[in-house]
């Protein structure tokens, strides 16, 4: 695979120009471009620039409204809701965070519910921003069905990630968990399918529930839940939070995030922002830091998010190596 090194500013600019060229308003393209650069910095290439051609295709076919204007409401003192209007989740989340963060600081805790939304990319990118604001951030997002229930073979819930980011000194979270209910994110299987590479056993199942190494067979079957029935439980928890609690479309009824068929998926996101000072008596930072240090004190032990944090720091000065084939697909949009 041939690569080219780009700075984070170059990645953001490239993503922005492609999205706008495809018909996205700059107000919607900007937060998505910023998130794309941040995702590449974290080393999550499957959700970075590789997704820009898909986003552009979905704007052009109407699966997402590139010119949508999110509608923000406050139905209760501690609750913000956003109707994403079938637009990009990133703009809706930004609009919601503008109210969520000050509300959580003032009241100690606040919730944000988003519906009529689209793929929010890397969920941890959003909870990290809450931690950078000094808040404990919890996030949930549902997705089109791709995980079958225990004992079944037909997908009912999505890979449904959840994330938690615990604030620390220096603007970075002490602990940052971001994981899907499946063994691996579905976008990784899609990436292997695009590149014609087999997937490891344990990533996906065929339509009869048997393990497969063929990514195309897996995409027509189901994703393997992480930890068996426990992964199904995590997916159901996230479905309740991100779809039932927000009024979004359930994963079993949502159109796919891939391809052009089916119209807008209308999925949802749910965030909780908590001011640790309101609940911990001022002991939060000390205790969460002690927890992290107890793990790092062991040779070879690491915390969730450690790898992304190291890559993020390095990318700020060294840039990111991007697949040239991805760059060619994006340049074709700009041609």
SS3 for 189-254 is HHHHHHHCCCCCCCCEECCCCCEECCHHHHHHCEECECCCHHHHHHHHHHHHHHHHCCCCCCHHHC
Tens digits of per-residue pLDDT, 69-103? 999 999 999 999 999 999 999 999 999 999 999 99
Number of structural domains the chain divides into = 2
- Are 305 and 127 in contact by the 8 Å Cβ rule? The answer is no
Q: Are residues 10 and 55 in the same domain?
A: yes
Give the pair of three-digit tokens for residue 284: 């939060």
Same domain for 295 and 316?
A: no
Looking up tokens 């994330």, which residue turns up? 163
- Tokens encoding 36: 């794309």
Residue 211 lies in a domain: no
The parent domain of residue 153 ranges over 68-182+225-304
Q: Calculate the CA dihedral of residues 41, 42, 45, 46 and round it to 10 degrees.
A: -140
- CATH code of 329's domain: 1.10.1530.10
> So what's the pLDDT on residue 272?
98
- Judge whether 151 and 306 are in contact, CB under 8 Å: no
Q: Please tell me which residue, 194 or 51, carries the higher pLDDT value.
A: 51
Q: Among the options 12, 47, 115, 163, which is catalytic?
A: 47
Q: Are residues 109 and 169 in the same domain?
A: yes
The answer to whether residues 83 and 31 belong to one domain is no
Q: Per-residue pLDDT tens for 233-273?
A: 999 999 999 999 999 999 999 999 988 999 999 999 999 99
**Catalytic (active site) residue 222:** no
Asked if 35 and 83 sit in the same domain, the reply is no
**Which of 164-173, 302-311, 314-323, 324-333 has the lowest average pLDDT?**
164-173
Indicate if the pLDDT at residue 42 is higher than 90: yes
Q: Which residue from 210, 186, 212 is spatially nearest to 199, judged by alpha carbons?
A: 212
Q: Is 26 a catalytic residue?
A: no
Clarify whether residues 242 and 282 are in a common domain.
yes
Residue 9 has pLDDT above 90, yes or no: yes
- Is-catalytic flag, 296? no
DSSP 33-66: HHHHHHHHHTT-GGGTGGGHHHHHHHHHHTSS-T
| Tokens read off for 119 | 């793929």
> What's the mean per-residue pLDDT of the chain?
95
| Domain-embedded: residue 189 | no
81 & 57 share domain? no
pTM tops 0.85: yes
User: Using 50, 70 and 90 to split pLDDT, how confident is the model at 185?
Assistant: confident
Per-residue b or e along 157-186, where b marks 16 or more CB atoms closer than 10 Å to that residue's CB: bbbbbbbbbbbbeeebbbbbbbbbbbbbbb
Q: What is the total residue count of the chain? A: 335
Helix, strand, coil percent values for the chain (each to nearest 5): 45, 20, 35
Shared-domain flag, residues 169 and 86? yes
User: Counting Cβ atoms within 10 Å, is residue 72 exposed (0-12), middle (13-18) or buried (19+)?
Assistant: middle
Alpha-carbon gap, residue 179 to 102, rounded angstroms = 27
Q: Using N-to-C axis directions, what is the helix angle for 306-318 and 26-41, rounded to 10°?
A: 110
Per the residue annotation, which of 12, 46, 90, 192 is the catalytic one? 46
Residues 155 and 77 in one domain: yes
Q: Are 119 and 276 in contact (CB under 8 A)?
A: no
What's the pLDDT score for residue 26?
A: 98
Give the model's confidence band at 161: pLDDT under 50 very low, under 70 low, under 90 confident, else very high. very high
- Percent of the chain exceeding pLDDT 90 equals 88
Geometric angle at alpha carbon 40, from 39 and 46, rounded to 5°: 80
DSSP, collapsed to helix, strand or coil, labels residue 158 as coil
> Which candidate in 90, 115, 187, 188 is catalytic?
188
In whole angstroms, what is the distance from residue 13 CA to residue 21 CA?
12
């Amino acid at each position: 695979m041939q690569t080219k090194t780009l700075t984070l500013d170059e990645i953001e600019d490239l993503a922005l120009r492609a999205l706008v060229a495809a018909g996205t308003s700059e107000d919607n393209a900007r937060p998505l471009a910023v998130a794309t650069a941040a995702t590449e910095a974290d080393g999550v290439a499957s959700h970075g620039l590789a997704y820009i051609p898909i986003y552009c295709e979905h704007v052009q076919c109407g699966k997402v409204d590139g010119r949508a204007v999110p509608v923000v409401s406050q139905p209760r003192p501690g609750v913000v809701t956003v109707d994403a209007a079938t637009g990009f989740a990133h703009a809706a989340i930004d609009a919601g965070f503008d109210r969520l963060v000050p509300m959580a600081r003032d009241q100690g805790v606040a919730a944000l519910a988003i519906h009529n939304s689209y793929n929010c990319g890397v969920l941890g990118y959003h909870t990290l921003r809450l931690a950078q604001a000094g808040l404990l951030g919890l996030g949930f997002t549902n997705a089109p069905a791709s995980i079958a229930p225990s004992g079944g073979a037909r997908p009912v819930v999505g890979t449904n990630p959840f994330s938690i980011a615990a604030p620390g000194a220096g603007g970075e979270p002490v602990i940052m968990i971001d994981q899907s209910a499946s063994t691996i994110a579905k976008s990784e299987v899609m990436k292997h399918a695009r590149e014609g590479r087999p997937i490891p056993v344990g990533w996906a199942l065929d339509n009869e529930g048997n393990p497969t190494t063929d990514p195309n067979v897996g995409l027509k079957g189901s994703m393997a839940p992480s930890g068996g029935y426990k992964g199904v439980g995590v997916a159901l928890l996230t479905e309740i939070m991100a779809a039932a609690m927000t009024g979004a479309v359930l994963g079993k009824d949502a159109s796919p995030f891939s391809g052009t068929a089916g119209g807008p998926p209308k999925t949802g996101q749910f965030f909780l922002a908590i001011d640790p000072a309101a609940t911990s008596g001022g002991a939060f930072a000390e205790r969460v830091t002690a927890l992290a240090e107890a793990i790092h004190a062991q040779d070879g032990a690491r915390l969730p998010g450690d790898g992304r944090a190291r890559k993020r720091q390095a990318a700020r000065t060294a840039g990111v190596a991007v697949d040239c084939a991805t760059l060619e697909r994006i340049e074709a949009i700009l041609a």
